[in-house]
Amino acid sequence: MSGKVILGAQWGDEGKGKFIDIFSSQADMVVRSQGGNNAGHTVIVGENVYKLHLIPSGILYSGTVNIIGAGVVCDPKVVLAEMDGLVAKGISLDNLYIDARAHVIMPWHIELDGLSEEARGKGDIGTTKKGIGPCYMDKSERSGIRMHDFVNPRKFEAIVREKGALKNEIITKLYGKAPLDIDAIVEEYRVYAERLSKFVRDTTPMIYDALKANKNVLFEGAQGTLLDLDMGTYPYVTSSHPVAGGVCIGSGVGPTAINEVVGICKGYTTRVGKGPFPTELDDEIGEYIRQKGAEFGTTTGRPRRTGWFDAVIARYTVRANGLTSIVINKIDPLMGLPKIKLCVGYEMDGKVTRDFPADLDDLARCTPVYEEFDGFDEDLSDIREYDKLPENLKKYLARIEEVCDCPVSIVGVGPDRDQIIYR
């Protein structure tokens, strides 16, 4: 079988969109397994910039089958708006499918995401407020709405009224806020359900058949390993499983379907939202990287926190995902810095560790152990051969590879799909 996984190896926004797009051009099928429209993947094709949140990037290639898998939480309004935007750019939706098991994000999920964040006060998570957590909560509690029910005209209204009434109890009684207008939701969402109906089906046989026939199946990751519900920096995580294992659960395939797992990193580290970040640069270097790398959220527009590359994290994600290779993307924003630092360990209570701690209180006590490299001033944007990269940069990349114990397969030198260097 020939399944390839592309996933985020840091805290998301590593530039997965660009690589998913590059690999989609060779794929027969692209499958999204988890997350929802908290994801924002930028794909630049010539003059066109696509910001995809739910629809797999393979949609840009005619003939590629695109699947929104069972593990995704799907906001009907958002997915329809995304579909309309693509159609307006002349892109066909003929090969797009949504798994019948996918859960539906309803207005109360979005409302409750905002209310629970507000209630957490200073201890908020910094979610995207897209209703992701509350929708996955309902799924785990076994009270969510799945696509097959949502698009079933015989079930739609009763189910929306029943769930909506219950959520209004929570909104009014627990949070003391005004109830949502369920009549209006029924009318609005009925139209969405009718429009989505033709895309919904059991996609698992399609994926299985494609794998059996040795077609190229690409599993498109969203978020990043450190945002994983179990493996990430809990509770500052998302509510799904961005690690490679999440692909199996969220697409309905077994681990034997996957033979390649590519982890995307940036040449530095970023995160949006709250939570500890050992190599964070709260200074002019951090600001330099933010500006050079245009580190502002695709989904929320928030400035991303920036810091040095953390090889403790990278080693951890190599393990947690069984990475077969790493991509070091966005190396170009480091141009012009006299020195580049690489975190190779953490010092905690006078001891050095190379393992990423499970307990956030421990992580907060960690200070990075850095190795320092001379920077580079060369413009990388037109370089396409590894050997032509500045010597100082090659030393930095070689050390990353060594510390992470995983080969670097590709280096990214700019946002365009051709601005990559294969090793």
Binding site for ligand GDP (CB under 6 A): 8, 12-18, 40-42, 44, 293-294, 298, 329-330, 332-333, 412-415, 419
Candidates 24, 38, 306, 329: give the one binding ligand IMO (CB under 6 A). 38
Count other Cβ atoms within 10 Å, centred on residue 92. Answer: 11
Choose between 203 and 329: whose C-beta lies nearer to ligand GDP.
329
Choose between 20 and 363: whose C-beta lies nearer to ligand GDP.
20
The stretch near Mg ion (CB under 5 A) out of 6-14, 195-203, 327-335, 409-417 is 6-14
Choose between 200 and 410: whose C-beta lies nearer to ligand GDP.
410
Backbone angles phi, psi at 205, to 5 degrees: -65, -30
Candidates 238, 269, 306, 321: give the one binding ligand IMO (CB under 6 A). 238
Choose between 70 and 413: whose C-beta lies nearer to ligand GDP.
413
The answer to whether the Cα torsion of 40, 44, 50, 56 is positive or negative is negative
| 132 near ligand IMO (CB under 6 A) | yes
Cα–Cα distance, 238 to 134 (Å, whole number): 11
Cα–Cα distance, 310 to 332 (Å, whole number): 17
At closest approach, how far in Å is the CB of 39 from Mg ion?
Answer: 6
| 204 near Mg ion (CB under 5 A) | no
Choose between 301 and 350: whose C-beta lies nearer to ligand IMO.
301
Query: Across the strands, what pairs with 343?
Result: 310, 370
| 13 near Mg ion (CB under 5 A) | yes
Catalytic residue among 41, 53, 109, 241: 41
Catalytic residue among 13, 113, 310, 332: 13
At closest approach, how far in Å is the CB of 232 from ligand IMO?
Answer: 9
| 130 near ligand IMO (CB under 6 A) | yes
**Before 235, cis peptide (omega within 30)?**
yes
By a kind-dependent CB cut-off of 5 to 8 A, residue 272 interacts, out of ligand IMO, Mg ion, ligand GDP, none, with ligand IMO
The stretch near ligand IMO (CB under 6 A) out of 79-87, 148-156, 206-214, 218-226 is 218-226
Give, as ranges, the residues between 39 and 78 that touch Mg ion (CB under 5 A). Answer: 40
| 127 near ligand IMO (CB under 6 A) | yes
| 300 near Mg ion (CB under 5 A) | no
Going residue by residue from 87 to 126, which x/- string records binding to ligand IMO, judged by CB under 6 A? Answer: --------------------------------------xx
Question: Is 362 labeled as catalytic in the residue annotation?
Answer: no
Choose between 236 and 356: whose C-beta lies nearer to ligand IMO.
236
Candidates 13, 82, 99, 295: give the one binding ligand IMO (CB under 6 A). 13
Going residue by residue from 267 to 306, which x/- string records binding to ligand IMO, judged by CB under 6 A? Answer: -----xx------------------------x--------
Burial of 17 (0-12, 13-18, 19+ CB in 10 A): buried
The answer to whether the Cα torsion of 334, 297, 34, 279 is positive or negative is positive
| 298 near Mg ion (CB under 5 A) | yes
| 42 near ligand IMO (CB under 6 A) | no
The stretch near ligand IMO (CB under 6 A) out of 152-160, 220-228, 367-375, 407-415 is 220-228
Candidates 6, 7, 29, 39: give the one binding ligand IMO (CB under 6 A). 39
Question: Is 41 labeled as catalytic in the residue annotation?
Answer: yes
CA 276 to mean position of chain CA atoms? 19
* Active site amino acids: 13, 41
Which residues are at the interface with Mg ion (CB under 5 A)?
13, 40, 298
Q: Which residues bind ligand IMO (CB under 6 A)?
A: 8, 11-13, 38-41, 125-128, 130, 132-133, 222-224, 227, 236, 238-239, 272-273, 298
